[in-house]
Amino acid sequence: MKRIGVLTSGGDSPGMNAAVRAVVRKGIYHGLEVFGIYQGYSGLIAGNIKKLELGSVGDIIQRGGTILYSARCEEFKTEEGRQKAIEQLKKFGIEALVVIGGDGSFRGAQKLTELGYPTIGVPGTIDNDIPGTDFTIGFDTALNTIIDAIDKIRDTATSHERTFIIEVMGRDAGDLALWAGLAGGAESIMIPESETDIENVIERIQQGHARGKKHSIIVVAEGIGSASEVARKLKETAKIETKVTVLGHIQRGGEATAFDRVLASRLGAGAVDLLLKGEAGLMVGVQNSEVVAHKIDDILTDRHQLDKQLIQLAKELSI
């Protein structure tokens, strides 16, 4: 194997650049040529591919976003689209790939392996919703962005004795909400993995009021619905006035934390190691601080499990 390609796909996440850097530098260290595929699978189909040198990935370890750009590509899901992609891989002499992204990206990675192009997946998403790894690249940075926002909102919530509802991303997963709620001392956390009925939220607010505490923070995972809906229910059911903040895409940007940079470096390099060993169709992850590999087939059929002990801890500490 002489030439490998690397692409980022799906929703970008801070630390993807550090992962690209690791793939490029680790590849070059081992005598490979590394090609950057721009705009994910769309760029692969279009042949938007350039050779990357050591300097191409200089000064990017800290940067949010992805220098390779990202896209969600419908065409690659078709036979015709994949054939066009294969033609481009042949044209550039690329023999194997590293795909950095979430589960949608891994479905594409699996197809490439089936078509004879060994591909390794690297989990990059702020959602932390991929099984087979304790953390995905970008989760820690997004979490810290949320915590920064919660801390600021708490200042004004306390001054005005208000209840704030903060909606965070995560798609169907509650990891961001749970970790942020725990780290931000939220009074209630609403996540898809554990049912929190509105009566329970009201009860907690009212208990706080009875103790003389008139402010509270409710963190809502987007997977359970919208913060405005929760606000409407609180008003209708218990006449509780709230302020709503939807953090949105701010959670996807910003300089990667040290944790994400190290994670991305380990996983990016780990992916190249696997390719050098002749492996294919695997996702590299980190479990119990060790770099591990799992079959992408298993990753696509398994479900990511939220830590139940954290859910219980958050309940016990937010009384």
Confirm or reject binding of residue 252 to ligand F6P (CB under 6 A).
Answer: yes
Q: What phi and psi values does residue 287 have, to the nearest 5 degrees?
A: -135, 130
The residue from 125, 133, 242, 257 that contacts ligand F6P (CB under 6 A) is: 125
- Name every residue whose Cβ is closer than 8 Å to that of residue 264 and which is 6 or more positions away in sequence: 15, 16, 17, 18, 19, 22, 122, 124, 137, 256
Cβ 226 to ligand F6P shortest distance, Å: 12
Q: Which is nearer to ligand F6P, 104 or 268 (CB)?
A: 104
Residue 188, Cβ density class (10 Å: 0-12 exposed, 13-18 middle, ≥19 buried): buried
Pairwise CA distance, residues 100 & 169, whole Å? 20
d(CA 276, CA 30): 9
Residue 30 main-chain phi, psi, to 5 deg: -95, 15
Contact flag: residue 81 with ligand F6P (CB under 6 A) = no
Site membership for ligand F6P, residue 163 (CB under 6 A): no
Number of residues engaging ligand F6P in binding (CB under 6 A) = 10
- Dihedrals phi, psi of 265, to nearest 5 degrees: -65, -45
Q: In the bound complex, what is the minimum distance in angstroms from residue 127's beta carbon to ligand F6P?
A: 5
- Catalytic site includes residue 273: no
Contact residues for 175 (Cβ-Cβ < 8 A; gap 6+):
127, 128, 129, 139, 306
Residue from 16, 169, 263, 282 touching ligand F6P (CB under 6 A): that is 169
**What is the contact mask toward ligand F6P in residues 195 to 234, using x (rule: CB under 6 A)?**
---------------------------x------------
CB of residue 224 vs ligand F6P: minimum separation in angstroms?
Answer: 13
Choose the binding region for ligand F6P from 16-24, 107-115, 121-129, 276-284 (rule: CB under 6 A): 121-129
Question: Which sign does the torsion angle of CA 263, 265, 268, 270 carry?
Answer: negative
Out of 5, 11, 27, 65, name the contact with ligand F6P by CB under 6 A. Answer: 11
Asked whether 132 and 152 are in contact (CB, 8 A), the reply is: no
Determine if 145 is a binding residue for ligand F6P (CB under 6 A): no
The residue from 127, 129, 140, 260 that is catalytic is 127
Helix (H) or strand (E) run with residue 292 in it:
strand 290-295
Cα(270)–Cα(274) distance, rounded to whole angstroms?
A: 6
Beta carbon nearer to ligand F6P, 56 or 245: 245
Nearest CA among 211, 162, 154 for reference residue 185 = 154
Q: Which range binds ligand F6P by CB under 6 A, 56-64, 168-176, 272-280, 304-312?
A: 168-176
Residues 6+ apart with CB under 8 A from 246: 167, 226, 227
Choose, by CB under 6 A, the member of 35, 36, 81, 127 that binds ligand F6P: 127
Give the helix, strand, coil percentages of the chain, each rounded to 5.
50, 20, 35
Minimum CB–partner distance for residue 126 and ligand F6P (Å): 6
- Options 37, 61, 109, 126; binder of ligand F6P; rule CB under 6 A: 126
Candidate ranges 122-130, 153-161, 282-290, 307-315; the one touching ligand F6P (CB under 6 A): 122-130
Residue 280: count other Cβ atoms within 10 Å of its Cβ.
21
Asked if 23 interacts with ligand F6P (CB under 6 A), we say: no
| The only residue of 171, 233, 295, 315 in contact with ligand F6P, by rule CB under 6 A | 171
Residues of this chain that bind ligand F6P (CB under 6 A): 11, 102, 125-127, 169-171, 222, 252
Query: Looking at the annotation, which residues are catalytic?
Result: 127
